[in-house]
Amino acid sequence: MVRRATATLVVVALAVLAGCLGGGGADATTTVEPTATAAASTTSQSGSPTTAAALGDVTVEVVEVVDGDTIKVVMPDGARETVRLLGVDTPEVHAENTPDEFEGVPETEAGRTCLRAAGENASAYAKSRLADRTVELRYDEKAGERGYYGRLLAYVVVDGAEFNYDLITEGHARVYESSFEERERYERAERDARERGVGLWSCATEGAAAGGADATTDDGLSVSVVADAPGNDNDNLNEEYVTLRNDGGATLDLSGWTVSDAAGATYTFAGGTELDPGASLTLHTGSGTDTDEDVYWGRGGAVWNNGGDTVTIRDAGGTEVLSYTYE
């Protein structure tokens, strides 16, 4: 990190065994697809039968953003739950990615590197929108209340916006192969994001396939940028950001390094800022409290042009380390 007994019992046993053997990725609703009847008889973790329709919408507190598509919340009764965002799948940050799950992304090391950076961006985006927020969970009767691994499946609504859908429109996620009511709308949004080549879909372009995550040095430092924040960029400054990732084998001392745009707006990293191997650091345009994974520029207006700009990184001596031009 940056330093600063019956047939029923047999079925249940098999389900538990499958859950133990399965991975920690998206809930395997493609393996066990709930029918309308199955969804109507879902059993909660407390053991009481519930349905999505009976459960209704619920307001919860987000206590942890695990990654782009998974959060942990505190329910109104004080219980803690893990929520798998319904219908979406962001690239992995805690495991290896499989490029062929994302249409057009090459099955190469460059493709995997690009997806890892896109996953970091998706996680940063989720943190900027959801961390420590009060949000609403909306359930989908077709999908059911819980996924194969016992996690809640829900649309997450924050500030009146459906965050799952925003992940798709901004290119931070693909539509997950499962049944849910909003699927057709999500698929249209995904096609549009792919056509625009935004977010993870930039990994499917010729430049990304050749160069990995937007731009990468021989030492493994990569940079990616999210220039187009949802809505008016000037009203959403912390959702406009640049992410640096270190996939090299040595720690990078970023003290005194700068990040600038084509117009010369420049941010300087504070002394003692170090980027460990495998870690990433996101520079948000707006204001906030710096953490191990996020720092804030403190600007009053947007920096990165949506129509194209150049991100230039220089070391403390002013030598250019990396430059990335996007259109």
Q: What is the pLDDT of residues 98-127, one digit of tens each?
A: 998 999 898 888 888 899 999 999 999 999
The whole domain housing 265 covers 215-326
Strands 280-284 and 294-296: parallel
Can you give the pLDDT at residue 306?
84
| Whether residue 271 sits in one domain with residue 238 | yes
Does residue 308 form part of some domain?
Answer: yes
| Whether residue 307 sits in one domain with residue 193 | no
Q: Name the least confident of 128-137, 210-219, 263-272, 290-299.
A: 210-219
Q: What is the CATH number of the domain that holds 90?
A: 2.40.50.90
| Whether residue 199 sits in one domain with residue 68 | yes
Does residue 126 form part of some domain?
Answer: yes
What are phi and psi for residue 258, nearest 5 degrees? -125, 155
Domain boundary (156, 172, 203) is at 203
Query: Would you please indicate which residues are annotated as catalytic (active-site) residues?
Result: 84, 92, 151
pLDDT at residue 24 above 60? no
| Whether residue 234 sits in one domain with residue 189 | no
Question: At 205, is the pLDDT very low, low, confident or very high (cuts 50, 70, 90)?
Answer: low
Does residue 41 form part of some domain?
Answer: no
Task: Report the range out of 36-45, 89-98, 213-222 with the highest average pLDDT.
Answer: 89-98
Q: How far apart are CA 147 and CA 107, in angstroms?
A: 28
Q: How far apart are CA 191 and CA 185, in angstroms?
A: 10
| Whether residue 194 sits in one domain with residue 237 | no
| Whether residue 229 sits in one domain with residue 169 | no
Tokens found for residue 72: 């942990």
Does residue 268 form part of some domain?
Answer: yes
The tally of domains found in the chain comes to 2
| Whether residue 198 sits in one domain with residue 113 | yes
* Residue 171 zone, left/alpha/beta (φ > 0; ψ -120 to 50; rest): left
| Whether residue 199 sits in one domain with residue 221 | no
Residue with tokens 């407390």: 46
Domain boundary (147, 170, 203) is at 203
Q: Tens digit of pLDDT for each residue in 290-306?
A: 998 899 999 999 999 98
Q: Tens digit of pLDDT for each residue in 124-154?
A: 999 999 999 999 999 999 999 998 889 999 9
Does residue 29 form part of some domain?
Answer: no
Task: Write a three-state SS string for the chain.
Answer: CEECCCHHHHHHHHHHHHHHHCCCCCCCCCCCCCCHHHHHCCECCCCCECCHHHHCCEEEEEEEEEECCEEEEECCCCCEEEEEECCEECCCCCCCCCHHHCCCCCCCHHHHHHHHHHHHHHHHHHHHHHCCCEEEEECCCCCCCECCCCCEEEEEEECCEEHHHHHHHCCCCEECCCCCCCHHHHHHHHHHHHHHCCHHHHHHCHHHHHHCCEEECCCCEEEEEECCCCCCHHHCHHHCEEEEEECCCCCEECCCCEEECCCCCEEECCCCCEECCCCEEEEECCCCCCCCCEEECCCCCCCCCCCCEEEEEECCCCCEEEEEEEC
Does residue 143 form part of some domain?
Answer: yes
Can you give the pLDDT at residue 214?
62
Tokens found for residue 306: 């949506």
pLDDT at residue 39 above 60? no
Q: How far apart are CA 42 and CA 52, in angstroms?
A: 8
Instruction: Give the percent of the chain with pLDDT over 90.
Output: 57
Sign of CA dihedral 252, 255, 256, 260: positive
pLDDT, mean over the chain:
82
| Whether residue 66 sits in one domain with residue 194 | yes
Q: What is the CATH number of the domain that holds 305?
A: 2.60.40.1260
Contact 32, 144 (CB under 8 A): no
Domain boundary (148, 175, 203) is at 203
Amino acid in the structure at residue 323: S
Q: Name the least confident of 47-61, 139-153, 217-231.
A: 47-61
| Whether residue 242 sits in one domain with residue 168 | no
